[in-house]
Chain A
Amino acid sequence: MRVDGSLAMLDRWGRWVLPGTVLLFFVLLTLAPLRAPYLSDALPLLPMLVVFQFSLTTPERLPGPLLLAMGVLLDLLLGGPGAPVGVSALGFVLIRAAVANNRRYLVGVPFLFQWFGFCLLALGFVLLVWIFTSLWTWTAIDPLPALVQYVVVIVIYPLIGPLLARVRARDPLNVPELSRGTARPGETTP
């Protein structure tokens, strides 16, 4: 441990801030003027994907207050007069909680199961945002664009999800951590 003190510290620091930085990057990317059809529609849901994936692998590095702040930032940046600020934050926090409570169905299972879990949670997220936005602005918002968003983000999940999951695979040493996803069938989480 003493041998490479500063490097190890840098390494640890990097690991700790990585999920938050990736999330911030995707929040900002939401506004990038990509002109790819469909893809640019789905950008606003990518932060949600990041939250899901990191809640699976390293939830302790994505603490609730950080999610709250990022969600509020996303809502502020996405804008829209009268749109509720904080609904994304609510969605992020709920996704993290849902993942934490269902780790044994989502961690250490075939990828298809993870994908299915993501589909369910993403649907919940999209519905939540749609319902709150509709109620808040008191207009019947056309749900079709939201559905398109949902379908696109589900389709690109297999492309981005595994990439983000590599963050966990490269953990240093095999130090057992509370949230390493070692839950076995039948085991309940504390």
Chain B
Amino acid sequence: MAIRDDFEVAAGQVRAAVQRFALGLLVLAAFGAMLIGKADSVLVENARVLALDLASPVLEAIARPVAAANRAIADLKEFASLRQENARLREENARLLAWQTAARRLENENEGLRGLANFREGPEASFITARIVGDSVSAYVRGALLNVGRRVGVAHGQAVVTGEGLAGRIAEVGDNSARVLFVTDVNSRLPVLIERTRERAILAGDNSPQLRLTLLQSVAGVQRGDRIITSGHGGSFPVGIPVGEVVETGEGGVRVKPFADFSRLEFVRVVDYGVTSLVSGGSGASATPAPAGAPAPGQRIR
């Protein structure tokens, strides 16, 4: 009896102590979570992927009605300007048809010249179409969640494009979900070419709607309206995906406006280029196609 009383007293004391220090314990636990995240980034990455996979079906259920509502609103807005839009499109169509003829002619010519020069093209790209089921946009990150994952061939580092141009790259992959990091995110660094001068540079995001062009050879060579395309350096991106257009050159640096409209993305395409493991960083174990592709360009031409 006495033992039981003692036990109850002790248990009561422990409970009181836990209650008194509850806040401290919780704060410590939160700091612990942060420290674990800092020390073991692989664990956190796996936890993120797991959370994404679990949340993805729910998000997909939410995303459909939301997308329908968004589309209805957009339809209403467009209805007002239908006539002008039609006229504009007809004009654009005429112009594009002219371009199409030019492109066909150039394509044929290009093919012939390539045959003559024995040029070896890069790997063929294939596309995976994905629906955006979640925005991961906050004050600190610019990205989105896709409803496709490893199961259909999505891998870390693949390019994500819209009809207009490059949107971003795959940052995390789960079984049935993936996270895109947009080019506008503060962590995004993209090797690019200035289309007109073929000069290389790095396009950096800073969470604002516009991008910053850095590591240029000379700022003087850049003009307003220059198109920026991916350079393919680093291996995971195909060459020549349009990214954006230079809108500002000055002391503040060169600013680029991306072609992709991030505010109304609904579907995107993931570009499977076949060589993603070159840049996937940590996973060195699966560096399969690297040796095969590396020596090719220099030797073939000779």
Question: C-beta contact mask, A62-81 vs B, less than 8 Å → 1, else 0?
Answer: 00110110011100111111
A55 at the binding interface (Cβ < 8 Å): no
CA distance A16 to B271 in the complex (A): 47
Q: Which chain A residue lies CB-closest to B35?
A: A86
> Contact between B33 and A32 (Cβ–Cβ < 8 Å)?
no
Contact of A77 among B26, B51, B63, B208 (CB under 8 A): B51
Q: Least Cβ distance of A75 to chain B in Å?
A: 8
B23 at the binding interface (Cβ < 8 Å): yes
> Contact between A80 and B263 (Cβ–Cβ < 8 Å)?
no
> Contact between A44 and B138 (Cβ–Cβ < 8 Å)?
yes
> Contact between B263 and A32 (Cβ–Cβ < 8 Å)?
no
Q: Least Cβ distance of B172 to chain A in Å?
A: 7
Main secondary structure on chain B at its contact with chain A? helix
Binds B, one of A1-9, A33-41, A174-182: A33-41
> Contact between A40 and B70 (Cβ–Cβ < 8 Å)?
no
> Contact between A149 and B138 (Cβ–Cβ < 8 Å)?
yes
Q: Least Cβ distance of B91 to chain A in Å?
A: 28
> Contact between B27 and A94 (Cβ–Cβ < 8 Å)?
yes
Q: Which chain B residue lies CB-closest to A148?
A: B139
Chain B, range 112-148, C-beta contacts under 8 Å to A = 132-141, 143-145
Known: A32-B135, A33-B63, A35-B70. A76 touches B207 (CB 8 A): no
Q: Least Cβ distance of A150 to chain B in Å?
A: 9
CA distance A34 to B73 in the complex (A): 12
Q: Least Cβ distance of B256 to chain A in Å?
A: 17
Complex contacts, B89 vs chain A, CB 8 Å:
none
Binds A, one of B52-60, B219-227, B230-238: B52-60
> Contact between A79 and B132 (Cβ–Cβ < 8 Å)?
no
> Contact between A28 and B33 (Cβ–Cβ < 8 Å)?
no
Complex contacts, B52 vs chain A, CB 8 Å:
77
> Contact between A146 and B141 (Cβ–Cβ < 8 Å)?
no
Chain A, range 129-187, C-beta contacts under 8 Å to B = 129-130, 132-133, 136, 139, 141-142, 145-146, 148-149
Q: Which residues of A contact B (CB under 8 A)?
A: 28-35, 37, 40-41, 43-44, 64-65, 67-68, 71-73, 76-87, 89-90, 93-94, 97, 129-130, 132-133, 136, 139, 141-142, 145-146, 148-149
- Other contacts beyond A84-B34, A142-B207: 20, CB < 8 A: A28-B55, A31-B134, A31-B145, A32-B62, A32-B135, A33-B66, A33-B67, A33-B133, A68-B33, A77-B51, A79-B48, A80-B138, A85-B34, A87-B34, A89-B29, A89-B30, A90-B27, A90-B31, A93-B27, A136-B38
**Subset of 8 A-B contacts with CB under 8 Å:** A28-B58, A28-B59, A33-B63, A79-B171, A80-B141, A81-B187, A83-B140, A145-B207
Q: Which residues of B contact A (CB under 8 A)?
A: 22-23, 26-27, 29-34, 36-38, 44, 47-48, 51-52, 55, 58-59, 62-63, 66-67, 70, 132-141, 143-145, 171-172, 179, 181, 185-187, 206-208, 263-264
Q: List 9 tightest A-B contacts by C-beta distance, closest first.
A: A86-B33, A80-B141, A31-B134, A90-B30, A145-B139, A85-B37, A146-B139, A76-B51, A44-B138
